[in-house]
Amino acid sequence: MLQSVIFYALAAGTIASAAAVAFSRNIVYSTFALLGAFMGVVGIYILLAADFVAMVQLLVYVGGILVLTIFAVMLTQGIGDVTISNRAVGSVPALVTVAIAGAVMLYAIAHTRWHQAALHAAAPTTYGIGNAFLGDYVLPFEVASLVLLAALIGAIVISRHEARE
Amino acid sequence: MSGAVGLDHYLVLSLIIFTLGMFTVLTRRNAIGILMGVELILNSANINYLAFAYYGGARYDGQIFAIFVIMLAAAEAVIGLAVVLAIYQNFRTIDVGATENLSG
């Protein structure tokens, strides 16, 4: 019962924030609404007994990606034209496309019998995740570090000012 | 669908966030706005992973995939925003309709 109340509160907050991201005309408002969406998703993760993933989401999304996005918004917009987050012309075709895609997926959700096992009691997951990362998933784990290194170097190379001789 | 919160509830929540993100991607002309829509879509995919991991009995596999998705989202955001800043330095705008030097 309590779980239901918490779920609906978190879901309502997340959806409201995501809707603000989608429909706000001001890009700065959208950016700060994104904070609410990410925090709501953190709560959803905790409700799904994924404590480690929730903390990773908090650190990487809220602490990293969101701050980076805010920096980009502030760097690319002058003070005067802060409201120019122009919606594209074709808002109605987008709405139709999204409605069709959503209806198809809703049909699939409603008419599929998903495999469901007995629920585990919520327990700390860091031990198992750590073992899996250094066991079955050690190759993707190492490749991931290469990807992050490449992204780091690539971002520096792309965004720096060209040196003029 | 009973009264208690089940797998379907999480799937529908993820579906709503996905459609909102897709709408953001389709309607924005601001490149940073498009990236924010992509982040929403990735979050909805992660909710799906964790919901199936929780209700399907596979305890760690879904969570590990979610962590990989978060890692790739971070890399994507870094590269995407660096590209946006580079475009802004060259064009003085980040309207994706205005950067058309390569269009025929």
pLDDT in tens, chain A (165 residues): 788 999 999 999 999 999 999 888 788 888 999 999 999 999 999 998 888 999 999 999 998 899 988 888 888 765 344 444 445 556 788 889 899 999 999 999 988 888 787 777 778 888 989 999 999 999 999 999 999 999 999 988 887 766 555
Cβ atoms of residues B5 and A4 within 8 Å: yes
Residues 41-60 of B with CB under 8 A from A: 43, 46-47, 50-57, 59-60
Domains and CATH numbers, chain B: 7-91 (1.10.287.3510)
Report the residue from B24, B64, B81 with minimal CB separation from A129: B64
* Binary contact (A68, B21; C-beta < 8 A): no
Please list every residue in chain B whose beta carbon sits closer than 8 Å to the beta carbon of residue A19.
Answer: 20
* Binary contact (A106, B50; C-beta < 8 A): no
ipTM of predicted complex = 0.87
Residue the block writes with tokens 């955001």: B77
pLDDT of residue A164: 58
Distance from CA of B65 to the nearest CA of A (A): 10
Please list every residue in chain B whose beta carbon sits closer than 8 Å to the beta carbon of residue A72.
Answer: 32, 81, 84-85
Does the pLDDT of residue B43 top 90, yes or no?
yes
CB pairs under 8 A between A and B: 225
Say which CATH topology domain A1-87 has.
Four Helix Bundle (Hemerythrin (Met), subunit A) (1.20.120)
* Binary contact (B19, A49; C-beta < 8 A): no
pLDDT of residue B5: 81
Question: Rounded to an integer, what distance in angstroms lies between the CA atom of residue B9 and that of residue B13?
Answer: 6
**What is the CB neighbour count within 10 angstroms for residue A140?**
14
- In chain A, domain spans: 1-87, 124-165
Distance from CA of A165 to the nearest CA of B (A): 18
**What is the CB neighbour count within 10 angstroms for residue A132?**
18
Q: Which residue of A has its CA nearest to B92?
A: A76
Q: Helix, strand or coil for residue B10?
A: helix
Question: Rounded to an integer, what distance in angstroms lies between the CA atom of residue B95 and that of residue B104?
Answer: 18
